[in-house]
Amino acid sequence: MRMPQCKIPRPGAIISQDSPERRATIMKRPLLTGMLIFMALAFAASMARADGILVPGHWPPPRDVIVEPLPAFAIKYHHVKVDIEGQLAKTHIDQVFINQVNREIEGTYLFPIPEGAAIKDFKMWMNNEPIPGKVLDKDEARRIYEAIVRQRKDPGLLEYVDRGLFRASVFPIPANGEQRIEIEYTEMLTKNNNTVPYTYPLNTERFSSKPINDVTISVNIHSKIPIKTVYSPTHTVSVRRPDNNTAAISYEEANTRPNIDFSIYYSLSEDDIGLSLLTWKPKGEDGYFMFLAAPPAEVQEKEVAAKDVVFVFDRTGSMSGEKIEQAREALKFSLRNLNAKDRFNVVTFNETPEPLFDKLQPATKANIDKALEMAGALTAMGGTNIDEALTKSAPMLTDKSRPSFILFMTDGLPTVGVTDVDQILADVQKAMPKFVRVFVFGVGYDVNTFLLDKMAGNHNGVTEYVRPGEDLEVKVSGLYRKISYPILANLEIDWGAMRPYDIFPGKLPDLFKGSQIILAGRFKGSGTAKVKLTGEAEGKKESFLLTQNLSDTMPLNDFIPTLWAQRKINFLLAEIRLKGHNKELVDEVIRLSKQFGIITEYTSFLVEEPGMMMSDRFERKATEAFARSAAPKMKRESGGSAVNQSVNLASGQSATKASIGVQGYYDENGSMVSISQVRQAGDRVFFQQGRMWVENTYNEKMKTIKIKAFSEAQFQLLARDPSLGKCMSVGEEVIIMVNGQAVQIGAEGQDTL
């Protein structure tokens, strides 16, 4: 049955859907015994917040109620569809709630309204009638938020005390039945220079007592001005670009508890290469920035640079079986996707390298057919001579006016010829022209990660590891698809008046069709900066200019310091792992990890060892723990632990990824370990220490004011500074720094200020 639409009027107005049947239904409601909510809400840990809350009972409750505990409504699915035209965003939310008790009950639907948004449609059908709703202003909403928090003894809603609220009563909800609710709001997005952010408040689902079966967000953007960069700093998303003026972003996850708001940024530019600069400057500190560059989604053939590529593929005995079959198909895919102006060669190796041609050949049909025939006949046998395979392949690439690549794939350790890692690296460094990029594929766990990571790093490439159970063909074809259309090579940036430092990654990758680069760094400059990106296309220099006031920023940019710290920490860890222990670098890793709340496999002791974060001897304890737990692990060169360490570090340093939303790492078995003991409230960081959530700048020697949780004192403090609501929502027991003073909110403390 099609649900009717109820238009939502201005805040404070009531939507009336009065009828004799509805009045009769209301009169027949069961006694409040089944509806009431103090204990029900105490059990309602699984209700969603901000993106739609369905609370058992009538809210606010009448006085002198009989309290009966009721389980919360479970959430079956949560679907979000966003349409953005230019800067006007329309967000449609579709949720299904499940009544988990054996009788019909009443519920109250609450929707905290995002700042600057307007509710447009509310869809719900009960007893063949549309359900009315009411938009409450901030003062009315605040009273409801605080009342719920007081009665539920759960601070989660305090984050939204400064927002308006939409409310609707829902009755009856059938026994063990479902209730579908849809709501839609619009907002005009703010553009910062040429960059537009969009945020959906998804983080409230983190309090769910049960994972949600199905969470999906789809965002469709259309703009008259061409769209350039599209990315999410919070979630791993899929981005599809049908044309220069359209972008489709999707995020989906099953059986999950979302714990961070969903954000995307997109830039609009008429330039061939779109440049964006986002800044964040804390008071009294140097600034943080994120710089992005992206080519258009649609590229004419004449705009694609002709490239030279040599495929160097391992065909040793260890590649037999499924691996050699996948290698054949991966090589065939790459050959079939060569461009008409490209040149190529194929070198297979075991004890000795065997090139298909004596030099690079044009990508004609005849040459590609010959290479395909060879690929189909690949067999696996013999030992692994990595040194000779690469030193014989490198001299084939001689034309520095063309983007030049080696795609190197191996599944083993060097066993024939030169086997010393340092000597192999030195030999390859000597033979390889400086302009050549080396992309490395390590297959399985029997590879030397130090050798492969250093080789890719020395030659401006990346390492991709294909772990057991992963598809080699998919990995190779995925990377080749990215690099098959070079747009701009040998990039350089003139930062003008920015005076930047600590930029990560330090080496700029090339720009390819469908790709983008994301840099994070610090800056000392002020005023207006002119940032110029220069690169080579078809051997000719091209430049692109961005002029921006460095003070132009927006509150949503507060994620940039964390992104920068994530990049720097992983860079430092990679340096320690590949070059050996360095106390100065270890100290910096520990300091940044605490300051920004970033936990890696090497620093997990920060949240695992009791009392670590609050100790006044934190630095000494952390240094000892690093030496005890992390240092031995870093020495492993091969095996599952070594491969997954490389995967973790590469992900944290990536020039093309920006997501900071999920903290976790792969362990030595390839299983994902999630970090749940760190929470962020804006740009403030809290670590879980037992039952208490502690702000990162606190230590146990500080004098602390104690306030009883959910007392008048807590709400007085919140009234003085509503921004503390985000910090209070982190947990029921929390230590917050307020103007340099430690304030502990917990089971004991003063009731009034």
Q: pLDDT class for 68, splitting at 50, 70, 90? A: low
Q: Closest Cα partner for 164 from 145, 181, 186, 192? A: 145
| pLDDT single digits (tens) 625-684 | 899 888 888 888 888 888 888 888 887 766 555 555 567 788 888 888 888 889 888 788
416, 318 contact by CB (below 8 A): no
Strand ranges (E), 557-628: none
* Residue 17 pLDDT greater than 50, yes or no: no
520 and 610 co-located in one domain: no
* Residue 127 pLDDT greater than 80, yes or no: no
Contacts of 54 (CB under 8 A, 6+ apart): 47, 48, 73, 95, 97, 107, 108, 109, 110, 170, 179, 181
Name the domain boundary from 499, 528, 553: 553
Mean pLDDT confidence for 544-566: 88
565 and 470 co-located in one domain: no
670 and 692 co-located in one domain: no
* Residue 158 pLDDT greater than 90, yes or no: no
- Averaged confidence pLDDT in the chain: 84
Predicted pLDDT of residue 65? 55
Q: pLDDT class for 568, splitting at 50, 70, 90? A: very high
* Residue 512 pLDDT greater than 50, yes or no: yes
Predicted pLDDT of residue 406? 96
Torsion angle of C-alpha atoms 202, 207, 211, 217, degrees rounded to 10 = 0
**Among 30-34, 258-262, 464-468, which stretch is predicted with the lowest mean pLDDT?**
30-34
Of 160 and 492, the structure prediction assigns the larger pLDDT to 492
CA max distance for the chain: 92
Residue 534 CA to residue 542 CA, distance in Å, equals 6
The verdict on residue 307 lying in a domain is: no
The CB density around residue 729, as the number of other CB atoms within 10 Å, is 24
Of 639 and 129, the structure prediction assigns the larger pLDDT to 639
Query: CATH no. for residue 512?
Result: 2.60.40.1230
25 and 51 co-located in one domain: yes
232 and 178 co-located in one domain: yes
249 and 284 co-located in one domain: no
The CB density around residue 141, as the number of other CB atoms within 10 Å, is 24
| pLDDT single digits (tens) 241-250 | 999 999 999 9
691 and 721 co-located in one domain: yes
Question: From residue 228, how far is each of 133, 225, 273 by CA, in Å?
Answer: 40, 9, 8
* Residue 259 pLDDT greater than 90, yes or no: no
* Residue 49 pLDDT greater than 50, yes or no: no
Predicted pLDDT of residue 475? 84
Tokens describing residue 489 = 């090579």
Domain that holds residue 683: 679-746
* Residue 260 pLDDT greater than 50, yes or no: yes
The verdict on residue 510 lying in a domain is: yes
* Residue 336 pLDDT greater than 80, yes or no: yes
Strand ranges (E), 189-244: 195-200, 212-222, 227-231, 238-243
Amino acid at 364: T
The verdict on residue 752 lying in a domain is: no
* Residue 62 pLDDT greater than 80, yes or no: no
Residue 472 CA to residue 323 CA, distance in Å, equals 7
Predicted pLDDT of residue 458? 92
Residue 532 CA to residue 308 CA, distance in Å, equals 27
* Secondary structure string (H, E, C) spanning 362-384: ECCHHHHHHHHHHHHCCCCCCCC
Name the domain boundary from 636, 653, 678: 678
324 and 449 co-located in one domain: yes
The verdict on residue 145 lying in a domain is: yes
* Residue 33 pLDDT greater than 50, yes or no: no
733 and 701 co-located in one domain: yes
* Residue 560 pLDDT greater than 50, yes or no: yes
Query: CATH no. for residue 395?
Result: 3.40.50.410
245 and 279 co-located in one domain: no
* Residue 487 pLDDT greater than 70, yes or no: yes
Query: CATH no. for residue 88?
Result: 2.60.40
Encode 646-666: b = buried (16+ Cβ within 10 Å), e = exposed.
Answer: bbbbbebbbbebbbbbebebb
Name the domain boundary from 484, 513, 533: 484
The verdict on residue 308 lying in a domain is: no
Predicted pLDDT of residue 217? 96
DSSP assignment of 350-363: SSSEEESSSS-EE-
The verdict on residue 737 lying in a domain is: yes
| pLDDT single digits (tens) 448-463 | 999 999 999 999 898 9
Mean pLDDT confidence for 249-261: 85
Residue 247 CA to residue 126 CA, distance in Å, equals 37
Mean pLDDT confidence for 562-573: 92
Q: pLDDT class for 547, splitting at 50, 70, 90? A: very high
The verdict on residue 167 lying in a domain is: yes
* Residue 201 pLDDT greater than 90, yes or no: no
Predicted pLDDT of residue 394? 96
Q: Please tell me the total count of domains within the chain.
A: 5
Of 322 and 265, the structure prediction assigns the larger pLDDT to 265
546 and 579 co-located in one domain: no
262 and 410 co-located in one domain: no
Share of the chain above pLDDT 70, in %: 88
Predicted pLDDT of residue 236? 86
The verdict on residue 310 lying in a domain is: no
